[in-house]
């Protein structure tokens, strides 16, 4: 069968193989019909084996192509998903940047508000001080606050001696008194 190439030999010097092939002419001489029948069965078996192998190889090739197509589709899906992930990360990054900018702006505005509140407090203190000073200027002298420890200021032309308190005395009834006579009511000479 080796001449037909049906069962190629791995090693043509193999003693078992040589023993079988050297005795094939004996088998052909003893039982010609049986040898031809067995040879035909072997050829038929080999043909079916080759058909099954071909079908198996074809199925394997189809499966490999199918899997290769799935792998390519999955690669494209992975690439698309990675693009979507990057786009979403960009979309997330943009609001984060905006939030960070808004927080920085809010901190800046908080600082400005704090400074403005301090200025407002200073202005209110100044206004209260000016209002107190204006009220003190426009208030009558008895309402003005005078410290008890300080001596009152002297007004020009007046002294403390001019304001000494004396007990009130009843009017005198005498010759020089304006109450003494009716004639002195219109007479200013008596004084």
At residue 19's C-alpha, the angle toward residues 13 and 22, to 5°, is: 100
Identify the band that residue 57 occupies on the pLDDT scale cut at 50, 70 and 90: very high
Non-local CB neighbours of 32 within 8 Å, separated by 6+ positions = none
pLDDT in tens, 157-187: 555 555 455 555 555 555 555 555 555 555 5
Other CB atoms within a 10 A radius of the CB of residue 33 amount to: 7
pLDDT in tens, 92-148: 888 888 888 999 999 999 999 999 999 999 999 999 999 888 888 877 766 445 555
* Phi, psi dihedral angles at 171 (to 5 degrees): -65, 140
**Helix and strand numbers, DSSP H then E, in the chain:** 3, 0
- Global pTM value: 0.36
């Amino acid at each position: 069968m080796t001449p037909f190439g049906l069962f190629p030999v791995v090693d043509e010097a193999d003693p078992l193989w040589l023993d079988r092939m050297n005795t094939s002419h004996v088998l052909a001489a003893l039982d010609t019909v049986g040898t031809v029948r067995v040879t035909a069965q072997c050829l038929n078996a080999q043909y079916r084996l080759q058909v099954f192998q071909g079908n198996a190889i074809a199925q394997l090739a189809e499966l490999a192509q199918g899997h290769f197509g799935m792998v390519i589709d999955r690669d494209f899906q992975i690439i698309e998903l990675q693009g979507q992930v990057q786009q979403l990360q960009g979309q997330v990054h943009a609001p984060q940047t905006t939030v960070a900018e808004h927080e920085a702006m809010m901190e800046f505005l908080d600082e400005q508000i704090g400074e403005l509140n301090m200025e407002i407090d200073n202005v209110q203190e100044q206004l209260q001080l000016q209002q107190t000073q204006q009220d003190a200027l426009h208030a009558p002298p008895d309402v003005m606050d005078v410290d008890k420890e300080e001596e009152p200021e002297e007004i020009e032309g007046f002294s403390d001696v001019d304001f000494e308190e004396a007990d009130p005395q009843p009017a005198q009834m005498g010759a020089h008194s304006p109450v003494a006579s009716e004639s002195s009511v219109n007479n200013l000479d008596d004084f």
